[in-house]
Amino acid sequence: MVKNLIIFPNKTKNWLVLMAWVFLIIFAGKFVINDTLLNYGLDEDVFGSLWILKWPLIGNILGGLIALVLGPFQFWEGFRNRYIKAHRYMGMVYITGILIGTISSINLALTTAIDVHWTLTLALIGLAVAWISTTGMAFRFILLRRIQLHKEWMVRSYVVTFAFVLFRWLNESPYFVETASFIERGSTLIWISWVVPLFITEIILQWNKK
């Protein structure tokens, strides 16, 4: 009886984790398919007035896509344990994608965003710094062979990565569209998209620590 009581919560936890990953993948998949892959092209007509900034835009989207797609494989314990070399290579590609995305984001923040409003520039730079910082900490701790801290910072890194999807969803929500213009809501939604999830993640990570 005691053994069953111990095993049941673990099974429940595994199912909850699986359901959470399925939801995140579907949620992110909608963003990838509808907002980037199908509606994105390299023609000047697609970019319009942003044609001159096409490479930062491409770098930002490409870097985010790489991180979004590779993230679940990095957290998949069975895949990680069975294909450790692939896990390491994919980790380096993940970091490279975020580096490209961060540089591109800062470029856009100091050009396009500042033409909209300085608060949007500040929000984008804040997101970019959080993105590269959390990823850099994960990389630092794997170099130090501190596996648990590496895992925790990878979780934080992916939470920040997912902010791009969450922002897109919030920004297109009828409630926000109807109540405020993009200049009024844009910077606030960017902060909400990563600060709130990261705060909740931190509570979860620290909850059972002694």
Q: What is the pLDDT of residue 2?
A: 37
pLDDT in tens, 152-202: 999 999 999 988 888 888 887 887 777 777 788 888 999 999 999 999 999
Question: Quick check: 178 and 147 in contact, CB under 8 A?
Answer: no
Tokens of 193: 């998209």
- DSSP-derived 3-state class of residue 59: helix
Q: What is the DSSP letter of 196?
A: H
Tokens of 140: 């630092």
Model pTM above 0.85: no
Higher pLDDT, 142 or 33: 142
Tokens of 55: 């490479």
Q: What is the pLDDT of residue 127?
A: 93
Q: How would residue 107 be classed by pLDDT, with cut points 50, 70 and 90?
A: confident
pLDDT in tens, 1-57: 334 434 444 555 555 555 666 666 666 666 665 555 445 555 555 555 554 556 667
- Rounded to an integer, what distance in angstroms lies between the CA atom of residue 17 and that of residue 207? 17
